[in-house]
Amino acid sequence: MRFVHIADMHFDSPFTTLSDKGNLGEKRRIEQRNIFKKVIQYIKRNHIEYLFISGDLYEHQYVRKSTIEFINNLFKEIEDTHIFIAPGNHDPNLKKSYYSTYNWNKNVHIFHSDLERIQLDDLDIYGYGFSDFYCPEVNLKNLEIENPNKINVLIIHGTLDGSSMEERQYNPISKKVLEEKGFDYVALGHIHKNNFTQDGKIIYPGSTISLGFDELGEHGMVTGEIKKDGNHLEYIKLDDTEFIEKELECNLIQSVEELVEKINSIKIDENKLYKIILTGKRNFEINLYDLYKYELNDRIIKLKDKTKPNYDLEKIAREHTLRGLFVKEILEEMKNQDYDEETIGKALEVGMEILE
């Protein structure tokens, strides 16, 4: 059976970082719609039988009815495709959510908080949906596949092998348990970075569109064919806009004007959005708020300062001052082979600021 698998579309996301930069947030929302149209067009062209949406299709807090209508109208264009949605933590199936109150097209099935099995001619589809913004755990240990000779698919939103307290709030799922259950394909959502492999069975497609600088790399969808003797999968990039981080070393830069020139000399790709990370030793105070006031390339939307002051420690240590005594102690500590460079560096910076 042929399918398309997407997750974490996040329709009507506020795009907070981009919205601070003119109309970039609005442009990104239009790109979001165009990318979803690409998914539907691919399904139409290739006569795809199944569309799996593994949660966070939209932002419950911000989504507008017009956006829901836009989504549903596209679903109507693929009447012959079975669409299965497993709501996630950003679009839970609440009593007053659009999942519960809107009249979705007849080819759409939305899962609830009870693990459900849908029986079709050649396959069984299991699914589970969030009914709240948090979900400690859905019990998969007692789940038994009813028809092991058929193709069996699980559609679910959650954290695979999550260990932190935060991860355990979003339906932690054991990969080992999933493998033991014997599903032919597990359509996951929630993690925005894909774990795609061509013959994989437990797949995160990642977010369909990149939402910010914590989602570097390519974004798109997984498609292919699921068979009992092995899957044949393909990852298709859909988002032409990539978020890129670039470092700029500041050791030799002597003024704000020179720094702005260096930032604007960075090679920029018009299809990418950039965060510039300032590194090295700074020879003057850097105020990021003031830097944003200069005419930077409009594809540079974020700056981060990771520089450290360029102190002449040997010279300062010779001063007959509190500052000199402090630096002398720091230099003595640095002779210790076991010293923590990050801790000492932070202590030096804080101490120097106090003693200036």
Q: Which tokens belong to 71? A: 């989504």
Last residue of a domain, one of 237, 268, 296: 237
Asked if 33 and 177 sit in the same domain, the reply is yes
Q: 199 is in which domain, residue-wise?
A: 2-237
Are 204 and 312 members of one domain? no
pLDDT one-digit tens code per residue, 303-334:
999 998 887 778 888 888 988 898 888 888 88
Count of domains observed in the chain: 2
The reply to whether 204 and 341 lie within a common domain is: no
pLDDT score at 313: 79
pLDDT in tens, 263-274: 999 999 988 999
Confidence class of residue 137 from pLDDT cuts 50, 70 and 90? Answer: confident
Mean pLDDT of the chain: 91
pLDDT band, very low/low/confident/very high, at 337 (cuts 50, 70, 90) = low
Last residue of a domain, one of 212, 237, 262: 237
- Same domain membership, residue 144 and residue 268: no
Same domain, 32 and 67: yes
